[in-house]
Amino acid sequence: MSITIIRNASVFDGVNEELAHDSDVIVENGTIREVAQGRSKVSADLEIDAGGRTLLPGLIDAHVHLFAVHLVASKNLHYPLTLLTAKALPRIRNMLERGFTSVRDVSGADFGIRQALAEGLIVGPRAFVGGPGLTQTGGHGDHRRRTDSSLDRNREADGVDFQSRIVDGPEQMRQVVRDELRKGADHIKLMASGGVGSPNDAIEDWQFSEEEIRMACREAAAKGKYVVAHTYASSAVQRAVKYGVRTVEHCNLIDRETAAIVRDHNAFVVPTLVCYEVTEQHGDSLGLSPYVMEKLAFVNEGGIRLLEHCEAEGTIMGFGTDLMGEMEYAQSMEFVIRARVQKPVDVLRSATSINAKIVQMEGKLGVIREGAIADIILVDGNPLDNIALLDGQGENIPVILQEGRVFRNRLAAESAGNI
């Protein structure tokens, strides 16, 4: 039995706007045993004096691609999975360095990487995985060139096919969704509209038929899982939630009426604004085509209006980033972008308690309360006043606990240095 106490912290519990000042948080074997007001008498194996710093639940990013090691997906072509994994390792670790103790991967990561992270073989956040993103022929996840007419893609052998799987027709959808659930998917990802990075489709395109989407949702629900959909325009978002999709991603082009429809279907919007802003800055030099750059500028413009519509309608928003390749460094800039419209506390709720609901871990992750998993970060200063403290590479996060284990404790180094 191992007990850690973090003393004298100002606790943001993932929900309440009021910080609980002067609190001691007691962690026992990876779980939060107690959040005590004032000085706890429990004796611990490790004591960390927070010195009044803000204590938060570990952050959760609900839209990442651990294996998107290049901005342009087709560059992964002919990568063996060993090389792909090796290239992904630093980006996975960097997410934890920024305070993200959990991530939801929405196309690419499989049960193998989830298990390697859970066993501590790889340093990084806890991962919720869905396997490959499912795409129709010619859809957002179909990365074949126009001259490539091969249908039999062997995803196990190639870095591109590992990240998406082509599915056409409700019967094939039934079989593929069952197959991905058999392999341990935590959710199923559908490409339900055109996208920015894909060379052959328009943003406004609908993808997958009603029958295909309903089939995926039905099969996922039968196993207690749910469907995540990539969508941009109002019509694509509306049909996704009406057919049973639980989280709609990006949604940059939706109108206010659509935000209300998402709310009425108890679905979540997961904006991923930073990826457009940062990719637009660097896309030209990284080899994006003029057509892709044009699409990028179009969706980037819609992002702020999306936040306003969701705020106005009370639509619940998760927190995602969707950064590919070299853009990955900008993950925490999403906090700052969201705060252009939202209150910092609402952005933090998205990245903690709301994202925990999205990954079906309500009360276990994303909250500081008795019985929750002890994913904890300490921040220098108060991010509810200044959310930019979370931006960067974790410079203002001196302590990170992952399921009770110390990943980082710069305060220990400080006090040792003072002796």
Binding site for Zn ion (CB under 5 A): 322
**Pair of tokens at residue 309:** 């519509």
Contact present, 155 and 132 (Cβ < 8 Å): yes
Count the Cβ atoms, other than its own, within 10 Å of residue 384: 20
Question: Least distance to Zn ion from the beta carbon of 248, Å?
Answer: 12
Backbone angles phi, psi at 142, to 5 degrees: -90, 100
Close Cβ partners of 82 (under 8 Å, ≥ 6 residues apart):
none
Question: Least distance to Zn ion from the beta carbon of 205, Å?
Answer: 16
Amino acid at 224: G
Cα separation, 79 vs 164, in Å, equals 14
Q: Position of tokens 């004096």? A: 49
12 vs 276 by CB, closer to Zn ion: 276
Question: Least distance to Zn ion from the beta carbon of 219, Å?
Answer: 22
26 vs 359 by CB, closer to Zn ion: 359
101 vs 247 by CB, closer to Zn ion: 247
322 vs 375 by CB, closer to Zn ion: 322
How far is C-alpha 302 from the geometric centre of its chain's CA atoms? 20
Looking at 120-267, list the stretches that DSSP marks H as alpha helix, in order from N- to C-terminal side: 170-182, 210-222, 234-242, 256-264
Question: Least distance to Zn ion from the beta carbon of 191, Å?
Answer: 9
Question: Least distance to Zn ion from the beta carbon of 106, Å?
Answer: 6
Close Cβ partners of 314 (under 8 Å, ≥ 6 residues apart):
263
295 vs 408 by CB, closer to Zn ion: 295
- Secondary structure letter of residue 166 according to DSSP: E
| Sign, Cα dihedral of 169, 172, 176, 177 | positive
The beta-carbon contacts of 107-110 under 8 Å, at least 24 apart in sequence, are: 107/65, 107/131, 107/132, 107/133, 107/141, 107/163, 107/164, 107/189, 108/65, 108/66, 108/67, 108/68, 108/132, 108/133, 108/162, 108/163, 109/65, 109/66, 109/67, 110/162, 110/183, 110/184
322 vs 403 by CB, closer to Zn ion: 322
Question: Least distance to Zn ion from the beta carbon of 93, Å?
Answer: 20
Strand 59-64 to 164-166 pairing: unpaired
180 vs 322 by CB, closer to Zn ion: 322
Q: In what order do the strands lie in the sheet with 59-64?
A: 59-64, 100-105, 126-128
What is the per-residue burial (b if ≥16 Cβ within 10 Å, else e) of 364-382? ebbbbbeebbbbbbbbeeb
Question: Least distance to Zn ion from the beta carbon of 17, Å?
Answer: 30
54 vs 279 by CB, closer to Zn ion: 279
Contact present, 136 and 192 (Cβ < 8 Å): no
First-to-last alpha carbon distance for the chain, in angstroms, is 29
Question: Least distance to Zn ion from the beta carbon of 322, Å?
Answer: 4
Cα separation, 95 vs 305, in Å, equals 28
Question: Least distance to Zn ion from the beta carbon of 63, Å?
Answer: 6
12 vs 206 by CB, closer to Zn ion: 206
270 vs 374 by CB, closer to Zn ion: 270
Question: Least distance to Zn ion from the beta carbon of 251, Å?
Answer: 12
Nearest residue to Zn ion, scored by beta-carbon proximity: 322
